[in-house]
Amino acid sequence: MTAILASLPAIELAPLLIGARFLVGGVGGIIVETEAYEADDPASHSFSGERPRNKAMFGPPLTAYVYRSYGVHWCFNIVTGPIGHGAAVLVRAIEPTAGIATMTERRRTNDPRLLASGPGRLTEALGITIAHNGLSLDARPFQLMPREGTPDIVVGPRIGITKAADHPWRFGLRGSPFLSRPFR
């Protein structure tokens, strides 16, 4: 992805990632769902300032921010904006296109719709862990390639949050069977 895209606010980058190709170690697919989290957003991990857990959010753009959600599963975010800003885009779901056998083994399911439809499923399918936190998306094991064309994007409120839950900062590929949850 270009440096220009990397410096965009999360609310602008999130829809531009829909249709982009994302791989980790050759395993992945097409991003079909994202959520934006800005620095001044009460639902963002960066809202109260930099802490050890969210340090990657304040790093360079196109850096991975990985955290454990509810102590259960990892979530993968793409840091955006200038260094020190504290904004990121949560990648919620992909359409699997590469390394499907590996994803199937990691997720223990043969249903392609359940391989990477949701932040926890996505990280498990792609093998993303805390070891990826703070790594540049411009280097291995990551590959992030811009989308081709202009996808039909649907917009709605974010999922699973209580603060600023009404913000329409969730973006998805209209009609995709690989979304974590349908849009209203």
> What is the distance between the alpha carbons of residues 9 and 87, in angstroms, rounded to a whole number?
7
The pLDDT value recorded for residue 83 is 84
The DSSP bridge partners found for residue 31 are 94
Give the residue among 105, 89, 99 at the shortest CA–CA distance from 137: 89
Q: Is the pLDDT of residue 53 over 70?
A: yes
Q: Is the pLDDT of residue 14 over 90?
A: yes
Sketch out the chain's domains with CATH numbers: 3-173 (3.10.300.10)
Give the residue among 125, 179, 126, 120 at the shortest CA–CA distance from 152: 179
Q: What mean pLDDT do residues 8-34 have? A: 96
Q: Name the CA dihedral angle for 48, 53, 55, 57, rounded to a multiple of 10 degrees.
A: -70
pTM of the predicted model, to two decimals?
A: 0.93
Q: Is the pLDDT of residue 143 over 70?
A: yes
Q: Is the pLDDT of residue 59 over 80?
A: yes
